[in-house]
A = this chain, B = another copy of it.
């Protein structure tokens, strides 16, 4: 008899999210813990608390470059400790069920296709808009087995050097980190803004949400920061549209909350830049699964590959 559940794991930079997911994509239960150096132990413990004979397998989404075939994390900029672990085999040995690994944004794209905003599209590109920018590409209802590191596409040949090795990466202009770094450097120079009040004396603790709130409260500087980042995001959209011509671009991650300013500006910029015939075919829509896309998709990959 078919087992009822899969465990889906989203191993981002700061949090480890684990869920028990049913065959129709419903999250039965989930937990979130902070990631530590002891990531393998935390992960094992979390899975353990959900495990039963009804678990068909364990899918792990990891922020970084992964090798599906070798079951390894090649590089994970925010969680280097994971690069040295034989992740898939360790977990497989412990739980004796199929285990697979996928990039977290790819897993999220799969989740959106399965039970999210991507259900009705044959092909779409997912952008994860958070601290960094990730991507996943669905083509004819299949997740492409490619890194889809859209955030590390150079959109400014001689722009700032990115830790990834490239220069002028989309992520350096359009991500949450980029918005905050722009905020901090101007505030340090004495730029007047509501953000100063919001930060309660420590501008280094501001979040992208603070910037959006200040913008909604009429702060010109916060608005500028978001529009500027949005404009660059639109260049990323245009490049993706000209290359892939997807039916949709699906947006997830914390910055989607700033839709009215940040995403709207991106849409405007993309409409000016992409081939008209291709732009007219693409729908730009928010994720419905949001933070749950990764855990849902990682579990879904188990049902659809075992």
Contact = CB atoms under 8 A, between A and B. Distances in A.
Interface of A: 65, 74-75, 135, 139, 144, 146-150, 152-157, 164-168, 173, 232, 235, 238-239, 242-245, 272-278
Contacts of A173: 157
Contacts of A157: 155-156, 168, 173, 232, 235
A270 to B, nearest CB: 10
Contacts of A167: 273
B149 A243 contact: yes
A274 to B, nearest CB: 7
B148 A144 contact: no
A190 B156 CA distance: 30
Given A165-B275, A243-B149, A144 B139 contact: yes
A242 B153 contact: yes
Given A139-B144, A155-B154, A149 B75 contact: no
Contacts of A274: 165-166
Given A65-B275, A156-B157, A277-B65, A243 B146 contact: yes
Contacts of A149: 242-243, 275
A225 B153 CA distance: 24
A272 B157 CA distance: 13
A127 B149 CA distance: 20
Contact of A245 (B75, B139, B146, B166): B146
A141 B241 CA distance: 23
B275 A242 contact: no
A243 B242 CA distance: 14
15 contacts: A65-B278, A74-B277, A75-B275, A75-B276, A139-B146, A146-B243, A147-B243, A147-B245, A154-B238, A157-B173, A157-B235, A164-B242, A165-B276, A166-B238, A166-B274
A268 to B, nearest CB: 13
Contact of A242 (B152, B239, B242): B152
A167 B231 CA distance: 13
Contacts of A152: 242, 275
A275 B164 contact: yes
B273 A165 contact: yes
